[in-house]
Amino acid sequence: MTEDYTTHPNLAKIKIVLIETSHPGNIGAVARAMKNMGLSQLVLVNPKEYPSQVASARASSAADVLNSAQVFATLEEAVAGCQVVVGASARLRKVSWPQMDVRETAAMAMQITDAQDGQIAILFGREDSGLSNLEMDKCHYLAHIPSNPHYSSLNIAAAVQVFAYEFLMAANLKNEAELKGYKHDLATAEQLEGFYQHLQQGLIDIAFLETAKNTRFMRRMRRLFNRAQLDVRELDILRGILTAAQRQAQKLKSLLESKDV
Amino acid sequence: MTEDYTTHPNLAKIKIVLIETSHPGNIGAVARAMKNMGLSQLVLVNPKEYPSQVASARASSAADVLNSAQVFATLEEAVAGCQVVVGASARLRKVSWPQMDVRETAAMAMQITDAQDGQIAILFGREDSGLSNLEMDKCHYLAHIPSNPHYSSLNIAAAVQVFAYEFLMAANLKNEAELKGYKHDLATAEQLEGFYQHLQQGLIDIAFLETAKNTRFMRRMRRLFNRAQLDVRELDILRGILTAAQRQAQKLKSLLESKDV
């Protein structure tokens, strides 16, 4: 095991799995990218050359991550114990696979690694040919790195750098929230759906929205609040605000009705 | 000039400036990272070795970006014509400089490059010693890459990769918004401030908030809406909702007062 240099327990549970990497320099560069971003678990499946002087030179001060890499002959062994396996891909694939971008992958990784034994593996394929179809069959999700459509093939260490950066950003956001004295799970899709229903009804009640023809408007609201990645406490607050506004509207309505009588 | 392969006009106006890079392989890797993310303007200040076979090999299919790099003897020439100059730094510096992280830098880059002649330069210092104090004096902002505090020194191509990735993500978000038929600028700090004032008053008016003791609550709201990166149209909508709720509360208040009379 590597020394515990990371301040993020979630990052310690993320495995970077390199499959049949050809160039040892890339393995070293991956180790450096990982350590720079606080990741420590490097897993190699049938590397062409490891250990290697070239890898060590490129790893720079990440010798600990490089030297403690786990090496396996098969992908099955490499991902044993991982709840979720994600295949990294430079481009969106026309397959019926659940697909995410890197940022979405990082959000998912935080949720999975919050569980005591929660581990996630991110697979990176060969430099020239990526992941095989059989390897993709082992993936629960595919994650693509948004890129120039005319040149979407990133160097493998560059690809790992992008993932590792998003993992650290997600962990930092989480830490920041915890340091500020609140620690709440992100709202689930179901909870968000409840909020959007409540929002729509609330906006109708306060006479902001008409009952019909608000599909496009509500889509815009969904986009806005989805971007904010609400936690459960924030969701409660927003619903509390809606309820307060609805209460005023309800009182007004009752009063107007009683006047009519 | 390189061929026009990017679908993002904003990305074409971002200059990646490498200062006195020692290893030509790094220059090649930077060119590849740039092209992968749709950037094209590479600027070299006193490179140790350029052109170089090693650089070309590492650039892979980004030979066009590498070969069309502009080379200058001084930083002044390199950043001529740029409205904003940002110095990239692995760590937060204890200097009285405006500092941003990479994501914030990308948001700023989109705003600047929206202007017809708007250009922004991101400076990357030497592999071993970074930017000198004199070079930092030329920067309007410093941008740091969040990283492992115990090993914060990224390879220069990895650092460029992270910036370029955030630029592409910001450009994609912008494009997506434009494709969906609305194109709005991000709200300015001043507009956001107006919204937060309005939000606070609105929440008091609908009896959700008490007048006093809401500093912590409002900080939480700011964090939530800052994360969402509101555009001006969304801000207008949210203020419209507040106004509708305030109107109901005001009517209720008037009615209750007229009853008392």
For residue B142, the cross-strand partners are B87, B99
**According to CATH, what is the number of the domain A11-179?**
3.40.1280.10
Is the CB of B245 less than 8 angstroms away from the CB of A240? no
> How far apart are alpha carbons B12 and B8 in whole angstroms?
7
Radius of gyration of chain B (CA): 23
Is A170:A37 a contact under the CB 8 Å cutoff? no
CB nearest B224 (choices: A62, A157, A228): A228
Stretch 105-144 of chain B: residues touching chain A, C-beta under 8 Å: none
ipTM of this predicted structure: 0.75
Q: How confident is the model at residue A7 (pLDDT cuts 50, 70, 90)?
A: low
CATH 1.10.8.590 residue ranges for chain A: 189-260
DSSP assigned state of B11: G
Q: What pLDDT, on a 0 to 100 scale, did the predictor assign at position B2?
A: 42
* pLDDT tens digits along B9-51: 999 999 999 999 999 999 999 999 999 999 999 999 999 999 9
Which DSSP helix (H) or strand (E) runs through B240? helix B232-260
Cβ of residue B216 closer than 8 Å to a chain A Cβ: no
Angle at A164 between CA A159 and CA A169, to 5 degrees: 130
Is A111:A100 a contact under the CB 8 Å cutoff? no
Is B42:B69 a contact under the CB 8 Å cutoff? yes
Is B26:B155 a contact under the CB 8 Å cutoff? yes
Least confident stretch, A57-66, A92-101, A149-158, B155-164: A92-101
For residue A121, the cross-strand partners are A15, A85
Q: What pLDDT, on a 0 to 100 scale, did the predictor assign at position B260?
A: 65
**Mean pLDDT, residues B85-110:** 84
Q: How confident is the model at residue B93 (pLDDT cuts 50, 70, 90)?
A: low
> How far apart are alpha carbons B102 and B159 in whole angstroms?
10
* pLDDT tens digits along B53-68: 999 999 999 999 999 9
For residues A221, A223, A226, A230, the Cα torsion angle rounded to the nearest 10 degrees is: -30
Is domain B189-260 annotated with CATH 1.10.357.10? Answer: no
Is A24:A55 a contact under the CB 8 Å cutoff? yes
- Among chain A residues, CA nearest to B60: A155
> How far apart are alpha carbons B61 and A153 in whole angstroms?
9
Mean confidence (pLDDT) of chain B: 90
Residues counted in chain A: 261
CATH 3.40.1280.10 residue ranges for chain B: 11-179
Percent of residues, chain B, with pLDDT higher than 70: 92
Q: Which residues contact A9 (CB under 8 A, 6 or more apart)?
A: A113
Ordered alpha helix ranges (H), chain A:
24-36, 53-59, 63-67, 75-78, 102-114, 133-137, 156-179, 189-205, 215-228, 232-260
CB nearest B161 (choices: A62, A151, A161): A161
**Cis peptide leading into residue B149 (ω within 30°):** no
DSSP assigned state of A79: T
Amino acid letter, A208: F
Q: How confident is the model at residue A113 (pLDDT cuts 50, 70, 90)?
A: very high
Is the CB of B148 less than 8 angstroms away from the CB of A6? yes
* pLDDT tens digits along B177-228: 676 655 677 788 888 899 999 999 999 999 999 877 788 899 889 888 988 8
Q: How confident is the model at residue A10 (pLDDT cuts 50, 70, 90)?
A: very high
Is the CB of B61 less than 8 angstroms away from the CB of A153? yes
Which DSSP helix (H) or strand (E) runs through A123? strand A120-124
pLDDT at B107 over 70: yes
